[in-house]
Amino acid sequence: MTDPARSAQMALVKGKDTKPEMVVRRLVHAIGFRFRLHRKDLPGKPDLVLPRIRKAIEVRGCFWHQHPDPSCWRARVPKTRQEFWAPKLEGNAGRDRSNEAALRGLGWDILVVWECETGPARREELERRLRAFLLGESGS
C-alpha cells in the first residue's frame, strides 16, 4: 500500500464515539447512570466520567492499547514494520498505565473495558461488570 493510501486509511480510525464505546454508553445509561464524556481536565480524558461517584470508564481498542489477555487475537502486533509498531503500541499502553495511575492518585475509581468484551456474545457479562463497578454489587 502506498504511503498516501495508508495515511488515508489510518485517518479513518476513530478516537471517540467508536462502536465499543457506544455499547458501553448504552449499557451504563440503561443501568440508570448519566455521565460526562472525555473530560479534558482529567488525565487521559476518560471515555465516560461519573463525577458524583468519582468513577471513570475507559473503553480501549485491543489492538491500539495492546490488550494483555493472551486469548485476544486483536492485540497482535503486525508482522511487518515491527520497528515502527512495537514502540508505538507499547507507548500507547505505557501512557494508559500512567493516566490510570494519575486518575487513581486523584481519588478516582477506574474500570477498563476492552473492545473484545463489548461483542454480543459477552454483553451480559459486560453488563454485570458495569453494574458491579457502578453500584458496588459483588460478583465481578
pLDDT confidence of residue 140: 43
Q: What is the CATH number of the domain that holds 72?
A: 3.40.960.10
pTM, full prediction:
0.86
Domain count along the chain: 1
* Residue 107, number of CB atoms within 10 A of its CB: 7
**CA–CA gap between residue 114 and residue 65 (Å, rounded):** 9
Identify any residues that bridge with 112 across adjacent strands, giving them in sequence order: 58
Kindly state whether residue 14 falls inside one of the protein's structural domains: no
Kindly state whether residue 70 falls inside one of the protein's structural domains: yes
Closest CA to 21 of 130, 114, 122, 129: 114
Residue 60 near residue 113, CB atoms below 8 Å: yes
What's the CA angle centered on 138, arms 104 and 54, to 5 degrees? 30
Kindly state whether residue 56 falls inside one of the protein's structural domains: yes
Rg (CA), the chain: 16
Per the structure, the complete domain to which residue 57 belongs is given by: 33-122
pLDDT confidence of residue 138: 52
Kindly state whether residue 73 falls inside one of the protein's structural domains: yes
Q: What tens-digit pLDDT sequence spans the chain (140 residues)?
A: 777 776 777 666 667 779 999 999 999 999 999 999 999 999 999 999 999 999 999 999 999 999 999 999 988 888 888 999 999 999 999 999 999 999 999 999 999 999 999 999 999 999 999 999 999 875 44
Q: Which three cell numbers stand for residue 126?
A: 459486560
Kindly state whether residue 53 falls inside one of the protein's structural domains: yes
Closest CA to 18 of 100, 99, 127, 115: 115
Kindly state whether residue 94 falls inside one of the protein's structural domains: yes
